[in-house]
Structure formats: structure tokens, C-alpha cells
Chain A
Amino acid sequence: EAQVTQNPRYLITVTGKKLTVTCSQNMNHEYMSWYRQDPGLGLRQIYYSMNVEVTDKGDVPEGYKVSRKEKRNFPLILESPSPNQTSLYFCASKQYGGNTGELFFGEGSRLTVL
């Protein structure tokens, strides 16, 4: 089954404790992206990657890092989480180029930073 898998789905942590949210897709997509979703603000892009070893900032990259060492994986790293990073995070992937822009989303990771 084609899917985007995120882990963990739920996490409560404390300020300053480094954490990583993993994302893996099995569709051989070149493009992967991370979004955060907050009430009243919709989906905002954090980082994206066009292909292996190619990453770029989205609209709200501050406080986040990413890496793309393999095509299927795109982890989101919070080196020193702060309460304003409490949010619902989505990883997404798609074929780069082509005629459609359809993004396939994971199920989301709800992060609470105390």
C-alpha cells in the first residue's frame, strides 16, 4: 500500500530536549516536505526536499532542521524544542515535476512541548 509513515504520532516533551520526527514514503517520490498545522493558520511549510541531499526552507523553518540522506526518508529535527513548536506536523511527498502537484500526506504527528 502506498503511504507516508510518520513516527511518533503523539509526543509530549520538555523545552530543550532534542527530538526527531521520522517520515518515510514507499512511493519512490523525489519530493518530500514538512508542514505544521495550527488553528486559524492552516498548513504552513517548514522545509522541503526536491531529491536526495537537496533541501530548502519553506515559510516557517526557524527552529527546525531536516536531512535527506535517502530518497524514502525525510526526518524533521527539533534541536531545542520550545513551546511555540507545539503543533500538528505533517510529512508529505509527491513525484517531482510532471503534470500534477498532488501531495500525499502522512497521518500527522501531534507534538506538545512543555
Chain B
Amino acid sequence: GESVGLHLPTLSVQEGDNSIINCAYSNSASDYFIWYKQESGKGPQFIIDIRSNMDKRQGQRVTVLLNKTVKHLSLQIAATQPGDSAVYFCAERWKAGTALIFGKGTTLSVSS
């Protein structure tokens, strides 16, 4: 089946920089997308979500952008902090009531 993928397995940034984590999805019918953060030794934690009828959504220091034309999802983290170091997963839902399909993850490393 179709799956969500990520452009880069790792991303290294300096503290205070803005980070952009990218994700490409292949199912143009997907109606819902989520970003998760997974810290070492922990389960994934919800960061932010976006529906397919939106192209941008902002949270606290995070913004998710959805470009349905090229089937691309991105997570922007403003003023990245060492505590942001983690693996970030995007996930898509093909339609309401179906399971989330996860990408393989991008490891974000933030150096001081």
C-alpha cells in the first residue's frame, strides 16, 4: 500500500535556529495528517495535526504546512531548543475511521 515517507533521516541544527522537517505522502485522498515527536525511550507524542482542507496550522513554536499539489507536509519549529531533539514522525490517514500510516521518521539533533 501507499505510505508516508520523509525526505531526510537526520537533521542537525544549532540552538535558536528554525528547523524544517519534511514529509512526502503518496495518497492524494488522505484527509488528515499528524506530526508526532518521539524522545529517546518514550512513546510518540502528538505535536500538531492538520486536515486536508487546510494548508497551514500553527501551534506553540510549531507550524505545519500542507501542499496538496505536490503531496508534501512540513513541520517548522521556531527557535529550536535542545529539548526539541527527538525523532519526528508524520502520519497520514486515508479516510475517517482508518488507521494512521506512519513515515519512517527524521531524527532532529539540536546542538548548543
Q: Which residues of A contact B (CB under 8 A)?
A: 4, 33, 35, 40-45, 48, 58-59, 90, 92, 96-97, 99-108
A41 and B103 CA atoms in complex are apart in Å by 8
A-B contact pairs, 28 of them (CB 8 A): A33-B99, A35-B102, A40-B104, A42-B89, A42-B102, A42-B104, A42-B105, A43-B44, A43-B89, A43-B102, A44-B102, A90-B43, A92-B43, A96-B97, A97-B96, A100-B32, A100-B49, A101-B32, A101-B34, A101-B100, A102-B34, A102-B46, A103-B34, A105-B44, A106-B43, A107-B42, A108-B41, A108-B43
- Give the residues from 75 to 99 in chain B that come closer than 8 angstroms, CB to CB, to chain A: 89, 93, 96-97, 99
For chain B, the bracket of interface size reads 20 to 34
A31 to chain B, nearest CB (A): 9
The 7 closest A-B pairs by CB, nearest first: A105-B43, A42-B104, A43-B102, A101-B93, A105-B44, A102-B46, A42-B102
Task: Point out residues on B near A: beta carbons under 8 Å.
Answer: 1, 32, 34, 41-46, 49, 51, 89, 93, 96-97, 99-100, 102-105
Determine the distance from Cα of A53 to Cα of B71 in the docked complex, in whole angstroms. 37
